[in-house]
Amino acid sequence: MPGEERELELYPSNWLYNAGVIGFLRVLEEGFEDEKKNFEDKLKKFFENNCFSLPEEAFKKKTIVIEDGLKAEIYQIWEWYFSAIGGKNKDEEGEENPVKKYWGSVFNKFFRNLFNPSLFGKRKMSSDKKEDEIKKINDLLYFAIYREKQVGGEIHTCSICGRNFKKRENFDKFYTFSSQHIKGLGSSSGEFPNSFWNLNASMPICLTCTYMILHYPLAFTRTSDGDEIFINAPDFRLMWYLNKFVREMYEKGEAKDTRKLFGLSLMQWAMRINQTLGAWTMANIEVIRKKGNIIDHFDLPPDVVSVLMDPVAASLITSLHLWPILELVMRGKYSELLVATYCAAKAHLADSISDNHCVYKYGGNKNRAGEMFQKLPLLFARIKQLTKKEDKMGEEKTKDEKVRAVYYAGVNSRELKDNFKNLSFRILELTRLGRINDAYQAIARVFIASRTPIPSDLVNILREQDQELQKSHIYAFLSGVLGEEKK
Ligand SMILES: [Zn+2]
């Protein structure tokens, strides 16, 4: 064993296996608790080349108490597994012993008959049998990692990783993917994994993949809807971080339900990792929802994902921190952002607002209205830019850059603030009604009357073909010119 390669080569496959790999990484993270840097390095390498090199410590034999009067030697990595899955607890001697607490319950809960854990804790089972069971658990890990070649026997191909393998004694039931690998999934509203045992009763699976699948529960996060969720994607790095963000956001109390957690997690990726993803990758990010025995999945339209995963849009939405606005984006109701802008503008400019003012519908109030009025036109234009159908050749500025420029044209015209203040409600109303030319004329007249040249960027309002974007330009200009003197 010493000097042998302990590298695992893993590629994304179906969601159950993917969740297993993410859970496996969480176990190693647990083991590396005191060497975070070392773990980060290994993780980084794994994301680059799909090879994870296991640390020697994972294979150190450790004597643990499984139940009173029964001690066993297990590989260290199993202790990390139980610790990650159940949390730490101390036994009577004050030693941390997650294995003792979770041994039976974990296997019973998630894996029906792969092992015989239910017999632990029951006096009926002889010590010899218990020791056999423990040996099997250790052997599974050993064979999974070393993929040791068997001599003789029929060759099978693993339906998950595609590798060839030969069956070894005592592991018969591990080699056919069945409900024993994931307990309780009797029905499924999706095609997978139900089809595994209903339509295709004999799906061969190798020991490495079986071992990985044992970790799937660790990848799921429980939400307030009673769901347990896992974000599945075509890339382990993406899955690792998106699921980490879901857990973080849940623990921080940022959100508790599945939809919001999914949206927040995508935006966290945009702002913290900020790695450009291909359209195909973004189209294949989905939430796997486990509710009792039902497995379901949901996803968002690709254009919504591309908005949430854009750093500019994500930071605008996040800094606004208004659920109704995130909800509009997640539902793809982008045009309604302009209605929200209009309401925010009215609330911001009024001396006081009534209890049923429309700004409340969007999560705002009188105090927040100014910020909404400023950011929403920029967000809308950014979304237009991200979701536009075709690129116009030779355009010097993107749609959101143009709106931003108009906003700054407003900021630079603040010496005319008072002149605009009197007209603002009229301009807002003309804009809402789509009378863009009239609104533009009203703005232009203020400049002309005060003998100030019209800022060149303002002309973009008329050049823009899309009426919604024209509205967004005017809102942005007003928000700029009517803003506070100092930022
Ligand atoms: Zn396999």
Distance 96 CA to ligand 1 centre (A): 33
Please check the confidence at residue 397 and state whether its pLDDT lies above 90: no
Please check the confidence at residue 373 and state whether its pLDDT lies above 80: yes
Q: What is the percent of the chain with per-residue pLDDT over 70, rounded to a whole number?
A: 81
Average pLDDT of 93-121?
Answer: 61
Please check the confidence at residue 93 and state whether its pLDDT lies above 70: no
- Do residue 302 and residue 343 come from a single domain? no
Distance 53 CA to ligand 1 centre (A): 18
Chain-centroid distance, C-alpha 468:
31
Q: Within a 10 A sphere around the Cβ of 322, how many other Cβ atoms?
A: 19
Residues flanking ion ligand 1, Cβ below 5 Å: 158, 160-161, 206, 209
- Asked if residues 435 and 451 have their Cβ atoms less than 8 Å apart, the reply is no
**Can you spell out the DSSP letters for 16-83?**
HHHHHHHHHHHHHHHHTTT-HHHHHHHHHHHHHHSEEEPPGGGG-EEEEEEETTEEEEEEHHHHHHHH
Please check the confidence at residue 98 and state whether its pLDDT lies above 70: no
- Do residue 51 and residue 100 come from a single domain? yes
Distance 142 CA to ligand 1 centre (A): 15
Distance 350 CA to ligand 1 centre (A): 65
Chosen domain end from 246, 273, 308? 308
- Do residue 202 and residue 224 come from a single domain? no
* 487 pLDDT tier (thresholds 50, 70, 90): very low
Of residues 355 and 99, more confidence is placed in 355
For 452-462, write each residue's pLDDT tens digit: 889 988 888 88
Residue 322 lies in a domain: no
Domain count, the chain: 3
- Do residue 194 and residue 340 come from a single domain? no
Q: What's residue 198's pLDDT? A: 44
Half-sphere exposure of 275 (CA within 13 A, CB side): 9
Distance 208 CA to ligand 1 centre (A): 6
- Do residue 438 and residue 336 come from a single domain? yes
Q: What's residue 102's pLDDT? A: 65
Distance 295 CA to ligand 1 centre (A): 22
Between CA 99 and CA 385 the distance in angstroms is 53
For 155-179, write each residue's pLDDT tens digit: 888 888 888 888 887 777 778 776 6
* 51 pLDDT tier (thresholds 50, 70, 90): confident
Distance 209 CA to ligand 1 centre (A): 4
* Closest residue by Cα to residue 369 from 360, 380, 356: 360
Average pLDDT of 221-236?
Answer: 92
Residue 313 lies in a domain: no
Identify the weakest region by mean pLDDT among 58-62, 148-152, 211-215, 326-330.
148-152
Residue 326 lies in a domain: no
Chosen domain end from 211, 239, 255? 211
- Do residue 152 and residue 121 come from a single domain? yes
- Asked if residues 325 and 363 have their Cβ atoms less than 8 Å apart, the reply is yes
For 181-203, write each residue's pLDDT tens digit: 665 553 344 444 444 444 455 67
- Do residue 397 and residue 300 come from a single domain? no
Distance 188 CA to ligand 1 centre (A): 23
3-state helix, strand, coil in the chain (%, to 5): 55, 10, 35
- Do residue 373 and residue 454 come from a single domain? yes
Distance 450 CA to ligand 1 centre (A): 76
Residue 320 lies in a domain: no
Chosen domain end from 179, 211, 243? 211
Chain-centroid distance, C-alpha 352:
40
Of residues 131 and 235, more confidence is placed in 235
Distance 451 CA to ligand 1 centre (A): 76
Average pLDDT of 240-255?
Answer: 95
Please check the confidence at residue 400 and state whether its pLDDT lies above 90: no
- Do residue 96 and residue 179 come from a single domain? yes
Residue 336 lies in a domain: yes
- DSSP assigned state of 159: T
The boundaries of the domain holding residue 455 are 331-481
- Asked if residues 130 and 70 have their Cβ atoms less than 8 Å apart, the reply is yes
Residue 130 lies in a domain: yes
Extract the tokens encoding 331. Answer: 């539902």
- Do residue 225 and residue 207 come from a single domain? no
Distance 463 CA to ligand 1 centre (A): 58
Provide the 3-class DSSP secondary structure of residue 253: coil
Residue 324 lies in a domain: no
- Do residue 64 and residue 163 come from a single domain? yes
* Closest residue by Cα to residue 218 from 75, 26, 39, 8: 26
Of residues 420 and 3, more confidence is placed in 420
Residue 384 lies in a domain: yes
Distance 8 CA to ligand 1 centre (A): 12
- Do residue 124 and residue 262 come from a single domain? no
